[in-house]
Copies of this chain bind each other. A is one copy, B any other.
Amino acid sequence: MKSLTALDQLIESLRCLPGVGPKSAQRMAYHLLQRDRNGAQHLAMSLQNALSRIHHCLKCNNFSESEVCDLCASGKRDAHQLCVVEMPTDLLMLEQTQTYHGMYFVLMGRLSPLDGVGPKEIHLDRLLKRAQDGEVQEVILATNYTVEGEATAHYVGELLKARGLKVSRIARGLPMGGEIEHVDIGTLAQAMMERRSLR
């Protein structure tokens, strides 16, 4: 039975971070132990805190510390519009454009069969239920204009239209292959205002 040292264990654990291979994990462990023990302590506590406090909003599926997030709980949003985005960052970017005042649904991903991400992984059952609450009149698909984002918009759009919902897609103001997270606010605002109905 081989027992790992505390250092080996730390290096191994750091590899759960995306994009961190064996060499980076080692470099990180050395750095933390030698130069930033306070940072390491803070990271450990933040991880514990985040794990115990952060869940998904029952309505929009975004990360939230309460059952229903502040945005969904706010009485000031237009309940007739539901905007579907891939990631929480996309929601934050759209909020910054100040062109949209409806509700959101965060897929937490995009369809990607090769990576094992299917309809279940992006919570389409919950989205369909949410979109058919009786209040939503228009679903705006604001997934990225990447290959996977487009495929997701198409798939989701077909499902929603089959249920009699009005579906629109933010305008192709983004450059081809562009991701919402990296586009300037002006372009994104244009794309939101020029959204087109899917038929």
List A residues at the B interface (Cβ < 8 Å). 5-7, 9-10, 12-14, 16-19, 24, 26-34, 36-37, 39-51, 53-54, 63, 65, 87-89, 108-109
Interface centre among A9, A17, A24, A43 (most CB of B within 10 A): A17
Partner of A44, one of B6, B7, B39, B47: B47
Contacts of A40 in B (CB 8 A): 16, 47, 50-51
Verify A43–B47 contact, CB threshold 8 A.
yes
Stoichiometry (number of copies): 2
CA distance A144 to B51 in the complex (A): 42
Verify A14–B43 contact, CB threshold 8 A.
yes
A interface majority secondary structure = helix
* Minimum distance in angstroms from A73 CB to a CB of chain B: 15
Verify B33–A16 contact, CB threshold 8 A.
no
CA distance A74 to B165 in the complex (A): 75
Residue of B nearest to A70 (CB): B5
CA distance A32 to B18 in the complex (A): 9
Residue of B nearest to A27 (CB): B18
Verify B6–A49 contact, CB threshold 8 A.
yes
CA distance A5 to B27 in the complex (A): 29
Partner of A46, one of B13, B45, B87: B13
